[in-house]
Structure 1
Amino acid sequence: MIRNLSILFLLIFISCSNDGTNRNPYLLEVNFRFDANLNLPTYNPLTNIGSAVFVPNEGVGTKGVFIINTGFDQFRAFEASCPNHAPNECSTMTLDGQTVTCSCENYEYSLFTGQLLERPEDGKRYYDMLEYRASLSGNTVVVSN
């Protein structure tokens, strides 16, 4: 009886695998919550579809967060640190309209999708931007992880 239970437990343990995840090894997923009040001048551009803002506040993501209004009261928020290397002095990306650029390698990402644009075809693994939860609550965009 104990032997059968041991074998059953072993089979269950072996069948539980974490291989299906696509975790970015460069960026930690930090816990935070940030409220962007759309009535404030800093975040008011988010009332327009396609507009994006950079939130450099300490404790919001690793190197800050980009928020974009994607239309129909939907917002997306992404980590501001380049997802393709460890955070350092050049890894905070810069906002240019609806794209962001990493000054370390000049990688460019879309804020609508978070995807790396013009992905190099050198056989290496490249990561898209780390996305955070973003939702509209009244006149405030709540970003959290």
Structure 2
Amino acid sequence: MKIHKAYLLSLLFVVFACTGDESRNNNPFLVDIAIQVDLNTNLPQFSNLNFDLNYVIVPNQGLRGFVVYRISSSQYVAYELSDPNHSPNDCSQMTISGIEASCPCPDDLNKYNVITGQPIEGNGLYGLKAYRAIRNGAVVRVTN
């Protein structure tokens, strides 16, 4: 009987502990839009991604465009440029300065760290919406 209880308890733990990627970021403000963009770093508009601690903004992709930041030759991050803490509107497209993304909306003044995606100022509950960024040769592929 003890074996059955231990087995049942283990099974319940596994069922309730496992969640998919989609449940980690249940942001009610930003919808998921499928993207797959290849950025050829041999082209002048993406050549900043050949150097550590540089970034490139890619407009007209995702909701309000996205930013790709090169941390090192093997580590890239990419984030949506729509402020994750309110619905997309006329002022929700963030601007980048160094490693900070700032929302220009006058009522929230949200700021985020572009390397970690975490809020650093304002009243936001959600961090930046992350995309996958992987380098293969001269191409950085950004997907979700």
Report the TM-score, using the length of structure 1 for normalisation: 0.78
In structure 1, distance between residues paired with 2:44 and 2:119: 30
CA contact (8 A) 1:51 1:98 kept: no
1:133 aligns with 2:136: no
In structure 2, distance between residues paired with 1:136 and 1:84: 29
- Report the 3-state secondary structure (helix = DSSP H, G, I; strand = E; otherwise coil) of the residue aligned with 2:48: helix
CA separation of 1:107 and 1:83: change in aligned 2, threshold 3 A: same
> Who is 1:48 aligned against?
51
CA contact (8 A) 2:109 2:121 kept: no
Aligned residues: 125
**What aligned pairs does 1:66-85 form with structure 2 within 5 A after superposition?**
66-85=67-86
Tell me the C-alpha RMSD between the 2 structures.
Answer: 2.0
Q: Deviations over 1:76-133 (max 9, x none)?
A: 100010000000000000011221100112211111100111354xxxx610000001
In structure 2, distance between residues paired with 1:21 and 1:33: 21
The Cα of 1:32 is off from its aligned counterpart by: 1.3
The Cα of 1:21 is off from its aligned counterpart by: 4.0
Report the TM-score, using the length of structure 2 for normalisation: 0.79
Off by >3 Å, runs of 4+ in structure 1? 15-18
Unmatched 5+ residue regions in structure 2? 1-11
Match 1:110 to one of 113, 116, 120: 113
Answer 1 or 2: which has greater helix percent. Answer: 2
Unmatched 5+ residue regions in structure 1? 1-11
Aligned-pair identity (%)? 36
1:24 aligns with 2:23: no
In structure 2, distance between residues paired with 1:66 and 1:81: 10
Q: Which amino acid aligns with 2:36?
A: R
The Cα of 1:72 is off from its aligned counterpart by: 3.5
